[in-house]
Structure 1
Amino acid sequence: MQKHSMWSFRFSTASLVLIPAAVGINYIGKLIAGLLKLPLWLDSIGTILASMLAGPIIGALSGAINNIIYGLTVDPISFIYGITSIAIGLAAGVLFYKGWISSLSKAAAAGLIVGLVAAVVSTPINVSFWGGQTGNVWGDALFAVILAKTDSVWLASFLDELVVDVPDKLLVVLISYCIFRGLPQNIVQLYSNNKLETLD
C-alpha cells in the first residue's frame, strides 16, 4: 500500500503547489551559499522537504526544475547536475517512506546516505566535464592531494565530491526534518490524505 502510493503519478493540487515552493527554497539556499562562499551547496532543502511531504516523484521534479531555473538565470552548469537533484529527491523520498527520517538520529543517517548517493551520481559528471573537480575550494584542495598521491582521477574526484556532499546533505536533511516537524499537522495531513486517495 505504502509503496504504491509512494510512486504515484497522480499529482494532487497540493503536490503541484508544493513544487514551486520547494524550488524557491532550493534557489534561495543555493544563492545564500554562493553569496557567503560557504563550502556547502544548500540547494536541496526544498527537494528533500517535497519528497517527505509528497513522495519521491514530486521531490525529484522539484530538484530538476530548480536546476533548470538556476541554469537559465544564474549558472548554465546547473543544468547538468539536474540528474543529481533527481537522485537526491528519489533517495530522500524512499528513505522517508521507509521510516529513515522519523527522528533526528535517523535523519542524520539518512543525510549521510543521500550525500553518498549525490557523490556517486555527480562524480562521473565531474570527471566528464571538469576533469574531476567540483569547483568547491575545500573539495578541490583534497582532489589535488589525492591525485598527486594516487594518480587516480576517479578516486580523487569521488573524494572531492564526497567531502562536500556528505556534510551538505547531512545538514540539509536535518534542516528539512526540523521544518517538517514544525509544520502544522493539517498541512502534513493534507499530503497524507492525498497519498491515500491515489490508492482508491
Structure 2
Amino acid sequence: MLGKINVHKITLIALAIVINIVGSYIALVLHLPIYLDSMGTIMTAILLGPFYGLFPGVLSALVTGMTSDIYALYYMPVGIVLGIVTGLIFQRRNISNKLFIKAFCISIPASLISACITANVFGGITSSGSTMLVQLLAKTPLGLTLSCLIVQFFTDYFDRLLSLWLVFSVIKKLPDSLTNKLKN
C-alpha cells in the first residue's frame, strides 16, 4: 500500500540512499567479497513497502555510478528487484521470523539478474572483491555463466543476511511514534 507521501518517508529514502552509497564505497575500497550496497534499500522496503523500496536502489546506483563505481549503473535492475521483492516478503513487517529463509528468498532473484549482468555484460570481471572467485571457477568445467551464478548467489546471500540482521537491529530500536508516522 502506498499511503500518503510525507516528509518522514522522503527522509527515510534519502537516508537509505546514503547508507547504500557508504556501504558500497566501503566494500569497493576494501575489496570485500560482499557488496554492502543494499542495506538502505532493504530498510526502506521493510518499513515502507515494495513501491518505496525500489527508490533507494535506483537513486544510489545513479549516484554511485556517476561518482565512484561505474559498474553500479549496470546493476540498477538488481536494486529495483531487491526493493520490490523485499517489500513483498516483509509486507506484514514480521521481521523476527525465519531470517535465513527470507535472506535466501530475496537473494534468488537478485542473484539471477546480477549473474546475467556480470557474465554477459562484463565477462565476469567487475569492481567487486568476488571477481577473483568468478575467474577461478570460470576456468573449471562450470564455465563463466554458472560460475557467476554460484559466486553471486553465495555473496548475495551473505550480503543480504548481514544487511537484514543490521536492518532488523535498527528497526527494533526505532520508537513506535516514528514507525507509526512512516505507516501513514
Taking the aligned partners of 1:159 and 1:134, their CA distance within structure 2 comes to 15
Q: Distance in 2 between matches of 1:174 and 1:149?
A: 34
1:80 equivalent among 70, 74, 90: 74
**Map 1:178-197 → 2, pairs under 5 A:** 178-192=169-183, 194=184
Provide Cα deviations, 1:118-149, integer angstroms capped at 9, x if missing partner.
Answer: 21111111122111344434x33433343333
- 2: distance between equivalents of 1:102 and 1:163? 22
The residue aligned with 1:111 is 103
TM-score, normalising length: structure 2: 0.89
SS of alignment partner, residue 97 of structure 1: coil
Residue equivalent to 1:122: 114
The residue number in structure 2 matching 1:142 is 133
Determine helix, strand or coil for the equivalent of 2:37: coil
Distance of aligned partners of 1:121 and 1:132 in 2 relative to their CA distance in 1, 3 Å threshold = same
CA drift at 1:82: 0.8
| Cα contact 2:124–2:135 (8 A) shared by 1 | no
Partner of 2:61: 67
Q: Deviation per CA, 1:58-102, whole angstroms, max 9, x where unpaired?
A: 111111100001111112221111100111111111111155x42
Amino acid in the other structure paired with 2:140? K
2:31 and 2:128 in contact (8 A); partners too: no
**Counterpart in 1 of 2:5?**
11
Unaligned runs of 5+ in 2: none
Q: 2:147 aligns with which of 148, 156, 171?
A: 156
- Give the whole-Å Cα distance in 2 for the aligned partners of 1:69 and 1:22: 13
TM-score under structure 1 normalisation?
0.83
1:15-55 CA-to-partner distances (Å, cap 9, x unmatched) read 22221111011111112222333221111111111111111
Give the secondary structure class of the aligned counterpart of 1:168: helix
Does the aligned pair in 1 maintain the 2:28–2:128 contact within 8 Å? no
Q: 2:95 aligns with which of 102, 123, 127?
A: 102
Q: Distance in 2 between matches of 1:49 and 1:95?
A: 13
CA separation in 1, counterparts of 2:74 and 2:4? 27
Shift of 1:114: 1.6
Superposition CA RMSD, Å: 1.9
Output one character per residue of 1:125-184: Cα deviation in whole Å (capped at 9) or x when no partner.
1122111344434x3343334333325322111112112111111101111111111111
Larger Rg: 1
Which ranges of structure 1 fall in alignment gaps of 5 or more residues?
A: 195-200
> Structure 1 stretch 31-40 or stretch 14-23: which is displaced more?
31-40
